[in-house]
Structure 1
C-alpha cells in the first residue's frame, strides 16, 4: 500500500513540475498502413506531417507522369500540334495502357496531357516527351535535372511514363514534391483532376476516344470529401501506387502511397487513413514574424521571415514548444518540434527563408546557431512553471511528513511487540518458581500438622 501511494504521489509531482508533458489522450495515433512507403505533406509549405520509409527508393509506375506533367506545363503550349512518330509508338508495349496512337497522327499538346493524366496513356506521355526534348532519352535527362532542382534526391527516371526499368525509381517524398510544384500551375487541377475526357476524331482515328480516370479517391461520387486531383499507378514491379490531393478548411494535403498490398484497394484505404489523420489531428498555425528573433541569442541583428510562416500542428504540440535553428549561411531557419513528438509527426515543422534587418544602415554578418537557446519566455508560461514547482514542493513536503509518520508508527508498533514478547517470556520463567514455593509451603504445613498431632498424643 505504501509503495502504491508513493508512486501515485510521484506521478502527480511529475505532471506538476513538467507542464508540457504530453498526455496519452492528446497524442494522435498515426494509421497503420499496408503500403511499404508513404508520406503526408502540406501542399502549401512542404511540411511533412507523417511519413513511412518516405525516402526509400521504389518503382513509381505511372505516378512518374506527375513529373512529366510538370515539365509539360512549364515548357509546352496547349495549342501546339504534335505529330506522332515511330519512337512514340514502338516503345510502348501493346499490353500496357495506351490510346492507340499511330505514326503520323496529329493531336494537340493539351489532348495528349489529358490522355496521359486521365487515361494514364503511356504513348501520350512519350509523345509529350519527344515533342519537348526530341527523344525520350533527352526528356529523361530533363526530368532528372528538374527533380534535382526541386530537392528530389531519391529520383532517377529513364522514361516519361513509368514503365519498369532498373534505373527508374523515386520515393514517396519526391512524388509529393512533384505534386506540390504542379499545384503552382492553374491548369494542374484540371489536368490531374478530370474524371472523363473526350478526344474527337483525328487525321488517323475516325472515332472519338472516351477517356476515364480510375483515381477513385475523387472519381466515384467524390469518394473522399475534398479530394480533387491525383494519379494512379501499377506494374508488377511497382505494385499499386497512388497520389491524392485533398483540401479542407483552407488546408491542402498530398498523400502518396507506394507498393500497397495485403488487401483489396489497399492504396485507397491507406490514402484515406493518411488524409483523415492529417485533417482530423492537425490545424493551421500562423507563426508570428518575431518568433525567430525571440529565440535567437543575438544583440546585433533581427531575423525576420520573408513570408508568413504557416505550419500544421496537432493539439499535443503548441507554438511555444517549437525551437529555431539557423542554417550555416543564416538565410534559412528551421522550426523544430520536440524530439518526443517523432512518434506521431515529422519533427521538422518547416524551413523558411529569412531576410536580415539592417542595423544603422550596415548589414550585419550572420552567425549560424545550431541549437539556439530559448531565453525569452512567455510570462504566462513562467507563471505556470512557478506554480507547478510550488505545487511539487508542497507535494514533496506532504509525502515526507506522511512517510515520517508511517516510519514512527512502525517503530512504535515494533517496540510494543518486543515488549510483549519479553513480558510473556518473564511470565513463563516465573511460573515454575511459584509452583515450587507452593509445594514447599504445603510440605511445611504438613510437617507442622504432624507435629501438632504428636503433641496431642503425648
Structure 2
C-alpha cells in the first residue's frame, strides 16, 4: 500500500493524505505518475508543485472577480433599513441604485404624488377660483385633517397647498371631487394615468394614501409617477414650499399656516433638513411604513430618490427613512458627477455633403449646446463610453443652411443611453441645378403617379398583344387558310362573270 499526502514541509504537518493500492499507484514496483507523495521516501518536487497549484486555484475566483469588474463600477451603498429604495438621475434616466424596486408594497402617502400631479393638470388654470366646500367633498374623510367645513369658501390654490404641502386629507378629497366630480371617478382617472405611465404594478383605491388592502404599488412605479410629476412646474412649486398661509375664510376668522410635512424641507428639523431637496412626499402608515420621495438638485444635476417601507420609531427618535435618503444622496454626490465631453460649438466630425455637384464638399458638424454626461467619477471616458451619430436622413444632402440640425449624437455607458445632443452644420450648401432635376426625376420615378401611369401602360399593352394574337390566330389557322381560299374563289368568279358580260 502506498500513501501520499500534501503537507507543510516546515512543520511536517499533513494537509491531505490518501492511500492507493500498489496496482493503481505503482507499476513494476516503481511509483507511477499519479503518486503525488510517497510516504516511503519523504516526498518530492511533485508535492511542492501541487501546493502551488492549489494556491493558484484558491486565489483564482478572487482574481477573476476583480478582473471582470466593469470599468467605472461603484461600490453599492447599504439600504437594509428600508424595504425598497430607488435613486436615479432625472436628466437622463440613469439608475444609480435600486433595491427591491419591483416588490409589491403599500404606497402610504406617495399616493398624493399622483393626486397632486392630476390636480395640477386639471385645475392649474383655476388657481384663483373660489370654491365652496360641500358635504360630498368631505364625506368619509379620515386621518390627517385641516378641519375644513361644508360651506367654507377657499381658493383652488389654498386646497392645493393644504393637500400637497401640508398633507391634509380633507383638502385632498375636496380636490378630487372638484377635478372629476367624485372621488370614485378621480380614482379611476388615477389608475388610467398610472397605466399610461407604465406603472402596471400599481392600483389606487383612494386619493389620500390611507391604507386599504387593495391599494398596492412598487418603488419602480412610484418613480415613474414622480418623474412625470417632476415635469409639472405647478406641482413642484407646491410640494417644495416650506409653508403656506391660508387666509381667513367665511368659517375660520383666523389665518391658518400649513407646514411641509416632508422633514427634508422643514426648517424645524435639523436632523434631516437638506437644502438641496425639493418636494415631493413623505409620510407613513402602519402597513406601508415610512415612505419618502424627494428631488435633489445640485451642481447641475437632478436626482430622484425614494425609499419605502422604512420602520416606524417612537417620537423623538431618528427616523431611518430620512437618514437613508440623505445617505443615498451623499453617496451619489461622492461617486457621480457631470463631465463635459464637448464644449458648446465644438466640432464633432466632418462629413461629405451630397447634391452640391462638388466631390470636395464637406460639412463640419458641431454641438451647439455642447454635451455633458453624468458618470461615476472614476470612469474612463475614452474606454467606458460609446458614441454613435445618427444623421436625420442617413447622409447629408444640399440644400443646407448654417445652424440646421442634421442629426443626434448619442452616448452610452454600460450599454445604456445616458446622454444625447443635436448636431448642426456651420455653413450653407447650395444644391446643384442638374442634380436637383435628376433628383426630382428620380423622385417622380418612385411616385404613385408614375407607378399608376406605368400600370395603365402595361394594361393597355397587354390588351393590344391579346388582340394581335387573336387576329393572328383567326387568320393563321387551317380555318383561316380555308376562309382565304374561299375568298379568292369568290373573287375569281366575280372577275370571270364580269369578263363574260363584256
TM range (shorter): 0.5 to 0.7
Aligned to 2:173: 126
Larger relative contact order (CA 8 Å, sep ≥ 6):
1
Aligned to 1:261: 311
Once residues 57 and 126 of structure 1 are traced to their aligned partners in structure 2, the CA distance between those partners, rounded to angstroms, is 25
* Equivalent residues of 1:44, 1:252 under 8 A apart: yes
Give CA deviations for 1:243-267 in whole Å, capped at 9, x if unaligned. Answer: 1221111111111111101764011
Aligned to 1:313: 375
- Which residue of 191, 195, 198 maps to 1:148? 195
- Kindly state the Cα deviation for residue 21 of structure 1 after the two structures are TM-superposed: 5.4
* Equivalent residues of 2:167, 2:261 under 8 A apart: no
- Which residue of 272, 276, 282 maps to 2:330? 276
Aligned to 1:85: 134
Taking only aligned residues, the RMSD between alpha carbons, in angstroms, comes to: 4.4
* Equivalent residues of 2:312, 2:319 under 8 A apart: no
- Counterparts in 2 of 1:290 and 1:139: CA distance versus 1, 3 Å: farther
Once residues 123 and 262 of structure 1 are traced to their aligned partners in structure 2, the CA distance between those partners, rounded to angstroms, is 24
Alignment of 1:219-234 (within 5 A): 219=266, 220=269, 223-234=273-284
Structure 1 position 240 matched with structure 2 position 303: no
Match of 1:258, SS state, is strand
Match of 1:124, SS state, is helix
Alignment of 1:5-404 (within 5 A): 22=69, 27-76=74-123, 77-93=126-142, 96-219=143-266, 220=269, 223-261=273-311, 264-285=318-339, 311-319=373-381, 320-322=383-385, 337-338=413-414, 348=416, 350=418
Once residues 417 and 91 of structure 2 are traced to their aligned partners in structure 1, the CA distance between those partners, rounded to angstroms, is 13
Aligned to 1:449: none
Unpaired runs of 5+ in structure 2? Answer: 1-47, 349-365, 389-407, 424-434, 444-502
Once residues 280 and 47 of structure 1 are traced to their aligned partners in structure 2, the CA distance between those partners, rounded to angstroms, is 16
Moved more, 101-110 or 169-178: 169-178
- Counterparts in 2 of 1:275 and 1:177: CA distance versus 1, 3 Å: same
- Kindly state the Cα deviation for residue 133 of structure 1 after the two structures are TM-superposed: 0.4
* Equivalent residues of 1:284, 1:310 under 8 A apart: yes
Match of 1:192, SS state, is helix
Q: TM-score, normalised by structure 1?
A: 0.62
Match of 1:217, SS state, is coil
- Kindly state the Cα deviation for residue 86 of structure 1 after the two structures are TM-superposed: 1.8
- Counterparts in 2 of 1:234 and 1:129: CA distance versus 1, 3 Å: same
* Equivalent residues of 2:261, 2:283 under 8 A apart: no
Aligned length: 336
Once residues 18 and 32 of structure 1 are traced to their aligned partners in structure 2, the CA distance between those partners, rounded to angstroms, is 23
- Kindly state the Cα deviation for residue 98 of structure 1 after the two structures are TM-superposed: 1.1
- Kindly state the Cα deviation for residue 232 of structure 1 after the two structures are TM-superposed: 0.9
- Kindly state the Cα deviation for residue 129 of structure 1 after the two structures are TM-superposed: 0.9
- Kindly state the Cα deviation for residue 103 of structure 1 after the two structures are TM-superposed: 1.3
Once residues 146 and 350 of structure 1 are traced to their aligned partners in structure 2, the CA distance between those partners, rounded to angstroms, is 26
Once residues 193 and 419 of structure 2 are traced to their aligned partners in structure 1, the CA distance between those partners, rounded to angstroms, is 20
Once residues 136 and 353 of structure 1 are traced to their aligned partners in structure 2, the CA distance between those partners, rounded to angstroms, is 43
Once residues 218 and 134 of structure 1 are traced to their aligned partners in structure 2, the CA distance between those partners, rounded to angstroms, is 33
* Equivalent residues of 2:409, 2:420 under 8 A apart: yes
Unpaired runs of 5+ in structure 1? Answer: 292-303, 326-331, 339-346, 364-458
Once residues 136 and 308 of structure 1 are traced to their aligned partners in structure 2, the CA distance between those partners, rounded to angstroms, is 48
Q: TM-score, normalised by structure 2?
A: 0.57
- Kindly state the Cα deviation for residue 42 of structure 1 after the two structures are TM-superposed: 1.3
- The answer to which structure has the higher helix fraction is 1
- Kindly state the Cα deviation for residue 160 of structure 1 after the two structures are TM-superposed: 1.3
- Kindly state the Cα deviation for residue 145 of structure 1 after the two structures are TM-superposed: 2.0
Once residues 376 and 305 of structure 2 are traced to their aligned partners in structure 1, the CA distance between those partners, rounded to angstroms, is 18
- Counterparts in 2 of 1:174 and 1:348: CA distance versus 1, 3 Å: farther
Once residues 341 and 194 of structure 2 are traced to their aligned partners in structure 1, the CA distance between those partners, rounded to angstroms, is 29
* Equivalent residues of 1:39, 1:176 under 8 A apart: yes
Match of 1:218, SS state, is coil
- Counterparts in 2 of 1:308 and 1:134: CA distance versus 1, 3 Å: farther
Once residues 104 and 372 of structure 2 are traced to their aligned partners in structure 1, the CA distance between those partners, rounded to angstroms, is 29
- Counterparts in 2 of 1:97 and 1:28: CA distance versus 1, 3 Å: same
- Kindly state the Cα deviation for residue 194 of structure 1 after the two structures are TM-superposed: 1.5
- Counterparts in 2 of 1:186 and 1:23: CA distance versus 1, 3 Å: closer
Once residues 347 and 188 of structure 2 are traced to their aligned partners in structure 1, the CA distance between those partners, rounded to angstroms, is 43
Match of 1:153, SS state, is coil
Once residues 231 and 300 of structure 2 are traced to their aligned partners in structure 1, the CA distance between those partners, rounded to angstroms, is 16
